[in-house]
Amino acid sequence: MSPRINAKFFKRGVQPLGQDLCVPLCLCVYVVKKLPWQGMITKKFLDELTYKIIGGAIEVHKQLGPGLLECVYQKCFIHELCLRNLNFASQLITPINYKGIILNADLRLDVLVEDFVIVELKSMEGILPVHEAQILTYMKLLQKPKGILINFNCTNIFNEGQKTLVNEYYAQLP
């Protein structure tokens, strides 16, 4: 695989045999498709999307439980996003604009859902302040209004395994 190709974009599709599967649509560099309703995004829309995303994480945790590697949870979480008919980009390289120069520092966010919500997946003892700082930085660099940290190494995703973060972009939404 060429080093210039850095993200897989998926959309729910139907195979010729009638089986619903996630199929790759395209491989792109730094590009996430613009959705037709992007100018009409609201806080309510993002909150409903967050509910679906966290619901997917809860389903993965319910099926697998704690104690596995992050990459296992990520593959299952991506499958859940497909089942929920959500568009996403996985392992998206985050460019850094430093004084007008775009740098490729090989920063990769785990999942970008519907081009609005950044999801960082963890499987560790607990969520640390550095993980919150990481997702806030991704949100700033990509100008996204919401981020979700999900830690699968817990007993209950909703109560102790997730943290939702918002920024000034979210505050400006209707």
Say whether pLDDT at 19 is over 80: no
Q: Is residue 23's pLDDT more than 50?
A: no
Calculate the dihedral angle through the C-alpha atoms of 118, 92, 137, 144, rounding to the nearest 10 degrees.
Answer: -50
Q: Is 58 a residue whose pLDDT tops 90? A: yes
Per residue in 59-110, pLDDT tens? 999 999 999 999 999 999 999 999 999 999 999 888 888 898 988 888 899 9
For residue 145, give the nearest of 40, 58, 46 by alpha carbon. 46
Q: How much of the chain, in percent, has pLDDT values that exceed 90?
A: 63
Residue 133: alpha-carbon gap to chain centroid: 16
- 39 — pLDDT class (breaks 50, 70, 90): low
- The structure's pTM equals 0.78
3-state secondary structure of 140: helix
- The overall average pLDDT reported for the chain is 81
